[in-house]
């Protein structure tokens, strides 16, 4: 394990001894500990079915652990939790609503006044580069544009923390790489803290300030690997020796975590 982030400052998010089992008796997570400080980009990396998405949903409050506790700013009280934005694996856009109508949904549910909602929707669409597509319907968008709209829907609540569950897994490689770069630019400009689920080694190495490698189900965190974020994340980095070596290192950790089963850096 790498240095615990609490040594670098008080954690924004703490997960302490969390275990989760389902009604059928299947154990998804066991004794998970992690801490995330403000401004970090932390990726949960592991094989399919290891409980990454389950952990993310518990952090989001979309379920409760059987054991352990999840706290924000040192408190389990929901009042201490920052504003959260959640981006799911699929865009899940309503086909009968325009892009702006889809993005506005969290504000409508929250009772935001229409004029304020319209302004915030436009701001969110501008942030992801979709302002000119506000009045079109999801069927008129490419896969990458649909995911941008989904991200805008998470941003419209002005979150401090983004929880992202393999948001780019279904996209082609070029679109995925572009959205990875866009996401990092947005994180720097907005100051978000991001907890990101992926099973792509390449994506995790490119995006993260830390990578948490998880074991097969029941999932637990077995490696906490810091990344050097001083290195610019761009196309030159993707073709660098340092990037290739880091991908090989993370792949070897994941390979060992899986009990020696074959795993390649592509991860998808």
Sign of the Cα pseudo-torsion (17, 191, 178, 226, in order) = negative
Predicted pLDDT of residue 80: 67
Predicted pLDDT of residue 77: 65
User: Tell me: the pLDDT tens digits for 14-31?
Assistant: 999 999 998 887 899 999
Instruction: Return left, alpha or beta for 120; rule: phi > 0 is left, psi -120 to 50 is alpha, else beta.
Output: alpha
Say if residue 262's pLDDT is above 80: no
Q: Could you tell me which of 200, 208, 216 has the C-alpha nearest to residue 251?
A: 200
Share of the chain above pLDDT 70, in %: 92
- pTM score, two decimals? 0.87
Share of the chain above pLDDT 90, in %: 62
Average pLDDT score over residue span 116-143? 93
Both ends of the chain: CA-CA distance in Å?
25
Predicted pLDDT of residue 79: 57
Q: Which is higher by pLDDT, 258 or 42?
A: 42
Say if residue 261's pLDDT is above 70: no
> What mean pLDDT is reported for the chain?
88
Name the CATH superfamily housing domain 1-82+160-268.
Answer: P-loop containing nucleotide triphosphate hydrolases (3.40.50.300)
Using CB atoms within 10 Å of the CB of residue 132, give its burial: 0 to 12 exposed, 13 to 18 middle, 19+ buried.
exposed
How is the chain split into domains, by residue range?
A: 1-82+160-268, 92-159
Predicted pLDDT of residue 47: 85
Q: What is residue 37's three-state secondary structure? A: coil
Predicted pLDDT of residue 263: 45
Using CB atoms within 10 Å of the CB of residue 170, give its burial: 0 to 12 exposed, 13 to 18 middle, 19+ buried.
middle
Q: Are strands 221-226 and 210-214 parallel, antiparallel or unpaired?
A: antiparallel
For the ranges 9-13, 133-137, 246-250, the lowest mean pLDDT is seen at: 9-13
């Amino acid at each position: 394990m790498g240095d615990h982030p609490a040594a670098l400052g008080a954690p924004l998010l703490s997960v302490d001894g969390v275990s989760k089992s389902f009604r059928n008796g299947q154990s998804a997570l066991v004794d998970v500990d992690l801490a995330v400080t403000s401004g970090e980009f932390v990726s949960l990396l592991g094989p399919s079915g290891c409980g990454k998405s389950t952990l993310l949903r518990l952090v989001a409050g979309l379920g409760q652990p059987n054991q352990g506790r999840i706290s924000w700013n040192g408190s389990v009280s929901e009042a201490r939790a920052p504003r959260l934005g959640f981006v799911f694996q699929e865009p899940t856009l309503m086909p009968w609503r325009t892009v702006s109508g889809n993005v506005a949904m969290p504000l409508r549910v929250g009772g935001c006044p229409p004029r304020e909602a319209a302004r915030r929707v436009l701001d969110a669409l501008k942030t992801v580069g979709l302002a000119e597509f506000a009045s079109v319907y999801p069927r008129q968008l490419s896969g990458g544009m649909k995911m941008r709209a989904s991200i805008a829907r998470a941003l419209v609540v002005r979150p401090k923390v983004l929880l992202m569950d393999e948001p780019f897994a279904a996209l082609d490689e070029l679109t995925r790489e572009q959205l990875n770069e866009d996401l990092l630019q947005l994180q720097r400009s907005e100051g978000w803290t991001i907890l990101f689920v992926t099973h792509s080694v390449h994506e995790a190495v490119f995006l993260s300030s830390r990578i948490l490698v998880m074991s097969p189900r029941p999932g637990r965190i077995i490696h906490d690997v810091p990344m050097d974020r001083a290195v610019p994340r761009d196309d030159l980095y993707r073709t660098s020796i340092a990037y290739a070596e880091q991908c090989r290192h993370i792949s070897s950790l994941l390979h060992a975590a899986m009990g020696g089963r074959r795993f390649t850096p592509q991860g998808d």
